[in-house]
Amino acid sequence: MKLISSESVPVRTPEDIVAVRQAVRRKAVKLGFGLVDQTKVVTASSELARNTLDYGGGGIVQLEIVESERSKSGLRLIFEDRGPGIPDIDLALSDGYTTGAGMGLGLGGAKRLSHEFEIWSKPGEGTRVSILRWK
């Protein structure tokens, strides 16, 4: 996979979640994503940005335009925080599980809305979630 461009957006306030959504939509439009794919990647980014802020205490998201070996374009989003981490990732990915006031659909929902999904977390060190949506 080849990195074409990269941009960082901080996630420190609720307003930053809006900025992430807007930046993701701009990149998706630039890549030529249809409306359904735009909506999927923007929704996933909103869920993950909210988790970064609410559970990770804030962090950063890296927006990357990538190209596959077959010249297929994609949008990769990497959310990273230095929060308390997730002690049980499988449990956190199950629908309905939440440690907050939400519906418990964030991580699992973001995974379903993405073509590729990776998560790394270590208690006391933070969490990194990477999603990728191909055009």
Q: What total of structural domains would you count in the chain?
A: 1
Q: Write out the residue range of the structural domain in which residue 6 sits.
A: 2-134
pTM: 0.91
SS3 at position 66: strand
Residue 30 clears pLDDT 80, i.e. is over it:
yes
- What is the domain-level CATH number for residue 82? 3.30.565.10
For 51-67, write each residue's pLDDT tens digit.
999 999 999 999 999 99
**pLDDT band of 92, cuts 50, 70, 90:** confident
**What whole-number distance in Å separates Cα of residue 6 and Cα of residue 97?**
32
Query: Quick check: 22 and 1 in contact, CB under 8 A?
Result: no
Instruction: Give the mean pLDDT of 98-120.
Output: 79
> Can you tell me the distance from the alpha carbon of 55 to that of 61, in angstroms, rounded to the nearest whole number?
15
**In the prediction, which pLDDT does 97 show?**
61
